Amino acid sequence: MKKHIVTIALALVLGISLGAQEKAPAKGFTIGKWMEIQNAVRLDLNKYYVDTLPLARMERASLDALLNSLDPYTVYVPEEEQEDFNLIIGKTYGGIGAVIYKPEKDGNVIINEPYADSPAARAGLRCGDEIITIDGESTHGLTSQQASDKMRGKPGTSVAFRLKKVYSGKEVDVTIVRERIHFPDVEYAGMLNDTTGYICQSGFTEGVSGAVRESVLKLKEQGMKKLVLDLRGNGGGLVDEAVKIISLFVPKGTMVLSSKGNTPDSEEKFFTTIDPIDLKIPIVVLVDSGSASASEIVAGGLQDLDRATVMGRRSFGKGLVQRILPLPYGGELKVTIAKYYTPSGRCVQAIDYANRNEDGSVGHIPDSLTHEFKTAHGRIVRDGGGITPDVLLSEKEYGRLVYSVVLNGITDQYALDYVRRHENVPAFEDFHFTDEDYKDFVAFAKDKKFDYRSDARATFDHMKKQLEKDGFADRMKDQLDAMEKALEMDKETFLNIEKDELIPFIEQEIAVRYWFQEAGVKIRLRYDDQLREALSKPLAI
């Protein structure tokens, strides 16, 4: 955000003149009225309530309920939650740079995934190493969160570990100096073919525009004649970084964004202020229902200026601007202060918060409720929620079992088990999960707990319960029993049916443990049918 407010002054109007009694109450009067009522309720509860009041919990619940009545992005963050909050919005924390796994409370902590060039990786920690003690304290009895808290800390401070190495079984002592760990927003940049460059961007934290700039220049040196900027699943971040990324491809001084709110300082126009690095290279921007906020600023801005072809699925639909305000006792208020508008004048904010899909993205909006706007070359675009792509692409749909296996951590647990049993693997380019490997996975997964019902079986179970509730199940017993038997399938059979859908997830989990996070993106590219479809489509501009 461009500005931070240091102090807030609220003038509470506690009375109105006789001549104004027939008008709507002033905002200040309404605030004062409800503050008095709430304080009176608190005092009466404190005096008369039969049991001891859980005051801290009550006040937090009250504050959260107040903010939840506004929008999903206006939230209170107490001082003790700011480290986790900074990790979410800034993708940064103080620590050693590794994901840990603790399957048993009375067991050791396991290094699950060290990050590339992190203090953990430089100290030689690798997937499968077990942490016996942290600063001399046994990890037995600690929860995963407690162990993680002990490993985190102020950058520049040291943390001592006693480790059991994964392959040798030897116990060693290692001291690591904590650093500020930042997850890179540019997860991967490379050439898809001789002329097409590709950048996978996962966020908009400070400095990402510089990383995108550097990536574009390197790709141009490698012969790039066309750029694919992949913003699928990118939930957004800093507005300034979005503006700077658009600046790389449009003339200096171009208006690329505006915001409007209830205060003068929330109304602003954003112009590009740096010289572009390329005004002609064809650009494809990929978006989906997970592309939100700053992602929509970039996609919508380049679309409105007819500088890129947007491909994929309709984006999330978050056209709101937040600002972080300091509060007493070290807390912060993240508050929505304005709506933003793309260069054509459209707002991507969903018309109504309630009209959304299960994943939170924009639901169907009829054209009758939206408005037409025109791009720089006169193409028609619409508001009402999200960025509608110039070119719609097919959407990959996975079976119910795939979601169940992945979300229950079965592929993650298997990858750790695989690494423990395979010290040496082929080079990344030659790494593929074979049929024999998949048999090994099935043998591992079939003993794990997860919901392995098919979509059809889950629908049947729901229907059967409804029939029982309505009193029809007994009449249809023979038909229901026959259908249930036909839909019955054991885990092993179903896992083999879903083999082609599960292998990419397994390969990705294994790859990041040997070759770090960038390898995971490369694995995804192997199986990215939507990207291949995008490369086959003509550009809209």
Active site members: 293, 304, 318
Q: What DSSP string describes 75-143?
A: EEE-GGGHHHHHHHHH-EEEE--EEEE-S-TTS-EEEEEEPTTSHHHHTT--TT-EEEEETTEESTT--
Which DSSP category does 158 fall into?
E
CA distance 483 to 481: 5
The candidate with the shortest Cα–Cα distance to 166, out of 431, 520, 509, 416, is 416
Amino acid at 247: S
| Token code pair at residue 206 | 């400070």
* Three-state SS letters, 166-182: CCCCCEEEEEEECEEEE
Under 8 Å CB-to-CB from 415, ≥6 apart: which residues? 127, 506, 509, 510, 513
The candidate with the shortest Cα–Cα distance to 281, out of 259, 238, 304, 249, is 249
Amino acid at 456: A
CA distance 538 to 402: 33
Which helix (H) or strand (E) segment holds residue 62: the answer is helix 55-68
Amino acid at 460: F
Q: How far is CA 267 from CA 202, 294, 339, 340, 441, in A?
A: 28, 17, 9, 9, 56
**Residue 284: alpha-carbon gap to chain centroid:** 22
Tokens 């499968």: give the residue: 128
The candidate with the shortest Cα–Cα distance to 299, out of 344, 267, 361, 336, is 344
Amino acid at 305: L
Under 8 Å CB-to-CB from 495, ≥6 apart: which residues? 401, 405, 441, 442, 445, 446, 452, 502
Under 8 Å CB-to-CB from 340, ≥6 apart: which residues? 239, 257, 258, 259, 297, 319, 320, 321, 347, 348
- Inter-residue contact 388 to 364 (CB < 8 Å): no
- Inter-residue contact 231 to 194 (CB < 8 Å): no
Which DSSP category does 353 fall into?
T
β-partners of residue 321 are 338
> What SS3 state is found at 342?
coil
